[in-house]
Structure 1
C-alpha cells in the first residue's frame, strides 16, 4: 500500500480551510444577526406607532390565572 504524502497534505489543507471558513461564516452571520436585532424589542415604540399588547390595561385582569385557564379550556380556543 502506497501512502502519498501530497494527498494527505492536500486533504489536511482542505479540512483545515473548510473548518476555518465555516467558523468565519458562523461568526460573520452571528455579528450580522446581532446588528439587525434591536437592542430592546419590548420597549415602547416612538412616533405614531402604538404597542399592541399592554397587559396592565387588559380587561382580563379581573380573572385569576386559574379562572383564565378554565375559560380557555371551556371555550376551546
Structure 2
C-alpha cells in the first residue's frame, strides 16, 4: 500500500486549520453572548439599594377541605 505524503499533509493542515477556526468562532460566540446578555437580575444590590421580597404566608393547618382548596387556588401551592 502506497502512502502519499502530500495527501496526509493536506489532511493534517485541514484538521489544524479547522480546529483553529473552531476555537476562534466559539470564542467569538462566547464574547458576543456575554456582550449582549442582560445584567444578572438576582445579583446582590450595590450601594444603598435593598432587595425586598414578600414571603408567602403559612398554609392553614385546618383539615377543612374547603379551606385547603381555597388556599390552593389562591396561592397555587
Q: What TM-score do you get using the length of structure 1 for normalisation? A: 0.57
Partner Cα separation in structure 2 for residue 29 and residue 19 of structure 1: 15
TM-superposition CA deviations, 1:5-48 (whole Å, max 9, x none): 000000000001111111110000000000011233347xxxxx
In the other structure, the counterpart of 1:27 is 27
Name the CA distance, whole Å, in 2 between partners of 1:35 and 1:2.
52
Any stretches of 5+ residues in structure 2 without a counterpart? 44-51, 60-67
Q: CA deviation at 1:62?
A: 1.3
| Structure having the larger proportion of residues in helix | 1
3-state secondary structure, aligned to 2:40:
coil
Runs of 4+ with >4 A deviation: none
Unaligned residue ranges in structure 1 (runs of 5+): 44-53
**Structure of higher CA gyration radius:** 2
Aligned CA RMSD, in angstroms, stands at 3.1
Greater relative contact order: 1 or 2 (C-alpha under 8 angstroms, separation 6 or more)? 2
